[in-house]
Structure 1
């Protein structure tokens, strides 16, 4: 009976979810579909010009060149400088790859190529993903506990509890947003050569564990990265994920609280409407008196 009573809300939530996804797909289709067609036309024209300029290059040779470029990109080899990127299967890059596995970011720029590496990746992810969820949850709760203790300490010194609470939460959000979004954006702009919008896009795609892989830090073989760069990036990913998970949990709590408020309001309105109806069994007695 409880499942049946909750069924309409579940259906409504499912309809909203499907509608949201389809609406997003329609927006992406309108925004990106035309650009794809333009790029295809441009690439066909460039391919024709290349074949005309290099008369000794036929279609098969062009496919071999394309395969060489894809393989070089996969293993971090720069065709311009003939140098390899430090971000491919060194200890630091392997550690970053392990972090992207357990955090489910999965950029896709590098992946295990050996059979034993692929098998180990499966078992490593089976253990590492739940462990990562537990650790991030603990770290997020610890961060929230520190914030609450500091808030409680300030509340004891003042009499305006609500104002202090709002101010502390706002200050904490602004500070962590600067630490995990503004500062990394500046670093990525300097060492990756990205624009501000590209750096912000990369930060969010990484910390939300979407991980498209179209932008990957510490991955360009034609750029120099300092030794501390990979370690800073790993720490940023870990603590940034904990902060974003905490922020998402706050949003979930707010939505659930708002849903509970609407439910209580509907139940209160229904009970008031039922109480306002006259009692037909007592009406004749009042008329007789």
Structure 2
């Protein structure tokens, strides 16, 4: 509705300012930081981006349609009926200029989404974006550290860096080879007890999880497109569409016999695009 009130001379017409722009920026910033620096799981990243998009929808909803202006009289004396009617008719609803709002939100959204998508598969300072660092322990899904002596021959499982359990980009398959000791091109200095090796769980073809291990051939298998990797020989592809080995995680043991990473992944994880 159009409002008429007395006021000081020179008062300007009022236009409501959409609220929530700060919330949108904060939500997009959280999604960006989570994807770049925190190695959040895919589900958590999805929730962060969903929250950001919902905030965008709220702000856009506030600026839809015309918004009436409030007319201000130059003094406190209310004029007669005719001037009031004329003034009321003059207070025509005008659309809010929302180009700056939508443009700013669009820029933030594109920047955040592009940053998360790009950095999910690229590296900082030449290394992959994972939680693996020198001295980080390998742990189970329950957060328990793993002793090298407790990994059975033919043993296979998914492990994570301590403190980042369920972080998808950091998932690793741990194997104690069943039929032979590790051979080049496996980096032998990164093998524990000649047979315990660890590789990124993310397939280098399309990014699916490598979820199977065949003991009689020491083969790792991705069920999405049947890519097969030789775990005894640097996880080089032996069948299927993958053209690049699974990155090997440098392994060692601490003073108590627990498995630790001696460094991060030396090469990018997952598919390499471009």
Confirm or deny a common fold (TM above 0.5): no
TM-score relative to the length of structure 2: 0.27
Higher-helix-fraction structure: 1
Higher-strand-fraction structure: 2
Structure having the higher Rg: 2
TM-score relative to the length of structure 1: 0.26
